[in-house]
Each structure stands twice: as C-alpha cells, then as structure tokens.
Amino acid sequence: MIMIRVIIAVVLTVTLSLSSPLQSNAEASYRVQEDSEELRLQDMLLNFLTPYINDAVRDYYRRLLVEPPLVYPYFVNVVDSMSINGFRGFNLSITLDVTPVVGPHISVGEDRLTFQISVGPEVKLVNYTHLKSYGLPPHWQNILKKPVK
C-alpha cells in the first residue's frame, strides 16, 4: 500500500512539474546556425552595434520599467540590410529584431530597430517599432512603473 502511494506521488510530481509553463519567449524566435564567415562578420557587426541597440531600448522602456532591460547579441536577428547610396557607397541601413530582457533573461518584449550606418563610423537610429510586450513573472512586478495619478 505504501509503495502504491509513493508511485502515485512520484507520477503526480513529474506530471505537474512537466506541465507547468516556463517563460522562454526570448529563445523561441532565434535559430542556431552553422558557423560561417558571414555569421562571424554579422556577429562582429552586432558587437559593434550593441551599445546603440541598448541605448535605444533603454530610451523606449524607461517610461515602463524601473530597471532598464538589456539586449544581448544572441537575442538579435538581422531582418534586412541594404546599401542606401549604391554599391560600395558606405552608407548602409540595417533592420534588427531584438528581444530585451531583465534579470535572468526574462523577456519583456520584442522590438524592431533600423539604424543608418555611415563613415566615421556614424550610427543613427532611424526607426524604432515596439512589436510585442510580455508580462513579467509575479516576483518581477516591482520593476513596473506605476502610472502617475
């Protein structure tokens, strides 16, 4: 009889723990790719752009959150890139989808940023579109800014 209770308890514990939803919005939209020269160059560009990305994200979320979110290079997806003034014109546009996170990589949303990059280097944010918001877990609700009454 005791053995049956132990088995039932183990089965219930495993079932409940496997059926509990875990927040993993950030990792769902990014694919692992094989290493290549193109991917390494893209990674170098993202390393260069990370401070500009984080400045733009911080500026957007400052009205919503007490703690500014961060964007790590592995939470950035290149959507589009193009030369603005023709072949080898060195005036470029890049559009990125980013997933800002707080704390232990808790996704707060998805955003699309377009930068213009030119000689200098000069980096200018030309468009910021908030695509999606994610709710925070209960123990992170304290970083939400309260509306002013």
- The tokens for 60 are 């957007």
User: Does residue 100 form part of some domain?
Assistant: yes
* pTM, to two decimals: 0.74
User: Does residue 30 form part of some domain?
Assistant: no
pLDDT truncated to tens, each residue of the chain (149 aa)? 776 765 765 555 655 555 544 444 544 445 556 888 888 988 999 999 999 999 999 999 999 999 999 999 999 999 999 999 888 888 999 999 999 999 999 999 999 999 999 998 899 999 999 999 999 999 999 999 875 54
Q: Which domain holds residue 42?
A: 36-137
CA distance 30 to 75: 7
Name the pairing type of β-strands 109-118 and 106-107. unpaired
Strand-pair partners of 76:
98
Residues 6+ apart with CB under 8 A from 120: none
Structural domains in the chain (count): 1
Report which of 118, 123, 120 is spatially closest to residue 92, judged by C-alpha positions: 118
CA distance 98 to 70: 10
